[in-house]
Amino acid sequence: MPHRTLAQDNRLLAALPAEDLQRWLPQLEWVALPLGQVVYESSRPLGHVYFPTTAIVSLLYVMEDGASAEIAVVGHEGLVGIALFMGGETTPSRAVVQSAGEGWRLPAAAVKDAFTRPGPVMHLLLRYTQALITQMAQTAVCNRHHSLDQQLCRWLLLSLDRLPGNELVMTQELIANMLGVRREGVTEAAMRLQRRGLIRYARGRITVLDRAGLETSTCECYAVVKREYDRLLPEHGAG
């Protein structure tokens, strides 16, 4: 396995006590996560949990007619596949890579084994699950009560928090699928943000020019989610 500084890779792995991390190290596998890859499909058994490092994975709910909407995003702060240790084995959502990068994956058995032993690992995974549930709930409220411009600002900020730079490679069609709106609506919202000097959008690349302006323009939902992640997840290793 590559020798990498896990504390700089994934927030959950970095927060593990040294003893528990050492137990997982032989089973952690470094994987590429290309744009558009389906990490897991709805209603199918999950074989691994994924700890993104430089990638962002979108959790989508897909309707019978093929329409979809994003319910949460996962990056270097978390993991993909909470159903494995929460007892579900499968999930009704689909996980798709929305921003290409890399990450670690761990076999299902290792996660289940760690979660069944009361202690720091179980408590850390439960705190992360609470933060993720908060994000899902806030996304539902935001999509119902706030404008598309506000939703786009929230989505951009959540994505930025999970990337090292200020640029996202993302088509308007993909953003529309994430937000569950028409592509034309995303185009109009993006153009409004661009005219205000907040972003630059060209050839599938969104560059954030004024993060403070985005934070001012978004709704309360972004701050609620960020505070909950900061409250529940430690910044540094526990041992």
Q: Which one, of 47, 119, 59, lies nearest residue 92 by Cα?
A: 59
Predicted confidence (pLDDT) per residue in 214-238, tens digit: 999 988 888 889 998 888 887 644 4
Q: Are residues 51 and 156 located together in one domain of the fold? A: no
Q: Report if residue 86 sits inside a domain.
A: yes
Q: Residues of the chain whose pLDDT is less than 50?
A: 1-4, 7, 236-239
Full residue range of the structural domain in which residue 185 is found: 147-218
Number of domains in the chain: 2
| Same domain, residue pair 102 and 205 | no
Residues 107 and 182 in one domain: no
Asked if 156 and 78 sit in the same domain, the reply is no
**What is the model's pLDDT at position 151?**
86
- Are 116 and 28 in a shared domain? yes
Do residues 21 and 69 share a domain?
A: yes
Render pLDDT for 112-140 as a digit per residue (tens, 0 to 9).
888 888 889 999 999 999 999 999 888 88
What pTM was computed for the model?
Answer: 0.86
Same domain, 65 and 20: yes
Which domain CATH number covers 172? 1.10.10.10
The CATH number of residue 54's host domain is 2.60.120.10
Q: Residue 57 domain-assigned?
A: yes
Which pLDDT does position 139 carry in this prediction?
Answer: 85
Same domain for 82 and 153, yes or no, is no
| pLDDT reported for residue 235 | 63
Q: Do 163 and 84 lie in a common domain? A: no
Final residue of a domain: which of 72, 104, 121?
121
Q: Does residue 193 form part of some domain?
A: yes
